[in-house]
Chains A and B, each alone.
Chain A
């Protein structure tokens, strides 16, 4: 490539920085560069695509999102000796710990029929949202090298991780079915409601996860804080107690309504309603109001746990209201989260 003739031109001593062979200006065209760019249809490189174009790109990458989730799922436990068995063991151990503390030691089980199934359902459903949020808060920083190496819509990453968490959830659902059946609940057509409930929750996780992914990418303090926020959220979402029948909430209808309307409680209640007959039967308002039965329940919770059904329904606790809330949260989170994440698309590589 570099022939002897060319090399002769650059003989020693004939060149220095002060007398360049072709200076910078000589390489530039005469017209303003912005005009030249416009004329040839060049676009600013740091410009994010339009929202419809972004959606199209994302749809085009659907195979990537699925393959990414599967690959991550497989890689997650490759170092552990028990391997993929941990996918089932982790939720089981989680449930065992919470049962020990809240069921046996603290006795929050009082007045809740089939507490084990109630608790395990709550934990599995809540941890789907919890884990989705935790990975979302780190997803941009953890995949910085991938982001800097290849160009793809960054929303693939939080999306891929929610798909991954959904795959894990489906495995824990198998565990859940086993626990529910062993604890004496029947299989009914209500179980089919599990499918729309999980779909709504997954959509909510995707949307809210995108908000968290952008916050986590921008402010490093956020991912430090998030675990504490999530733990607080878990304790107010009726995972380990029932918002319907907790005696401390009896005279605070507004607070009860707020707790019921929060998305985690909504999705947990929807799944419990689908899978647990004991919950459907014991829900306050499930039977016509009976003052003496209700009073008896409030005095002797463990004796007749199903008599909570004779009390007044708690605000925002009916199934139809819950379905509306669940759909509303999912749509709102998805729309807001997606737009919020997309608006920072060009900045995720900065680090």
Chain B
């Protein structure tokens, strides 16, 4: 049997959200609340993951699908170790790195500084960072914009650079949250290939995407979440995706032939 890389054991995650409304939001209301010794009414609990279990193995590329708010991103953050479980556990081999769409790194710094800092933060030495630099820049396709601050980048350029930085190192477990959604066709092809490489470099990749074709092209397994629970989990990717599309009332998809 293949070696397990990620084990999720009856995981529950509860968010405590502050400022959820229910308060007038004025200073007087806050004072009154404290005098009455009430708890903040604006704290609301959101049970985002309700008992998920699965095992992912070395070399797996797992697509996670589901509607908005079904707990996909939460699951990824829990695997990355960024959200402590309220019940259950997540076990991983080595380190899990999350690559999210909002991971802006440092907006006010130039692209090239972001590359170097990102590489160093991932634990490379100065020497390694220097060696990898050109490769990362070339892969991102950011070109002459590399010496501009990242806030001047288009969404697509920024996410390309982020992906290029994060994939410069081989990860034991790489979690990708919609990071490729904004790339153009050429970049998607490149990143698709890179994810394949990461898989063969003894890693496990998780991919959250709303683009189902992307999941189908990239993943050998898919997990369908609904309201924090697993509806389906299996290696017959097209079948599960079709079932998901049908359940969400969509048309059957036109599958574009893939050049992988």
Contacts and interface: CB of A to CB of B under 8 A. Distances in A.
Contacts of A27: 54-55, 233-234
A29 to B, nearest CB: 6
A40 B122 contact: no
B121 interface: yes
B97 A150 contact: yes
B81 A45 contact: yes
A44 interface: yes
Interface string B151-178: 0000000000010001000000000000
4 closest cross-chain pairs (CB), A and B: A149-B103, A22-B234, A349-B82, A45-B81
Contacts of B102: 145, 148
Contacts of A43: 91-93
Interface string B97-118: 1111011111011000100111
Contacts of B180: none
Contacts of A57: 123
B1 to A, nearest CB: 8
Given A22-B232, A60-B123, A347 B117 contact: no
B84 A24 contact: no
A343 to B, nearest CB: 13
A146 B121 contact: yes
Interface stretch (A3-11, A131-139, A180-188, A330-338): A3-11
Nearest to B125: A63
Contacts of A251: none
A104 interface: no
Given A44-B91, A64-B120, A15 B80 contact: no
A288 B195 CA distance: 78
A61 interface: yes
A91 B96 CA distance: 43
A61 B100 contact: no
B258 interface: yes
Contact of B255 (A2, A21, A46, A61): A2
Interface in A106-121: none
12 contacts: A1-B260, A20-B240, A27-B55, A28-B53, A33-B8, A37-B9, A44-B89, A46-B81, A64-B121, A146-B121, A149-B99, A346-B84
Contacts of B105: 145-146, 149
A150 B81 contact: no
B246 interface: yes
A21 B232 contact: yes
Interface in A21-51: 21-24, 26-29, 33-34, 36-37, 40-47
Given A22-B236, A68-B121, A152-B122, 10 more contacts: A7-B255, A12-B252, A33-B91, A34-B89, A64-B121, A75-B108, A148-B77, A148-B80, A148-B100, A349-B82
B48 interface: no
Contacts of B125: 63
B141 interface: no
A28 B99 contact: no
Given A24-B230, A33-B55, A40-B4, A47 B81 contact: yes
Contact of B233 (A17, A24, A349): A24
Interface in B108-154: 108-109, 113, 116-118, 120-123, 125-126, 129, 149
A22 B236 CA distance: 8
B89 A40 contact: no
Interface of A: 1-2, 6-7, 9-10, 12, 15-17, 20-24, 26-29, 33-34, 36-37, 40-47, 57, 60-61, 63-64, 67-68, 71-72, 75, 78, 143, 145-152, 156, 346-347, 349-350
Interface residues of B, number: 74
Contacts of B8: 33
B83 A150 contact: no
A24 B236 contact: no
A27 B230 CA distance: 12
Contact of A20 (B82, B92, B93, B243): B243
B80 A45 contact: yes
Contacts of B93: 40-43
B83 A46 contact: yes
Contacts of B122: 150-152
B117 A151 contact: no
A22 B230 CA distance: 12
Contacts of B233: 22-24, 27
A37 B91 contact: yes
B3 interface: yes
Given A1-B260, A7-B255, A42 B235 contact: no
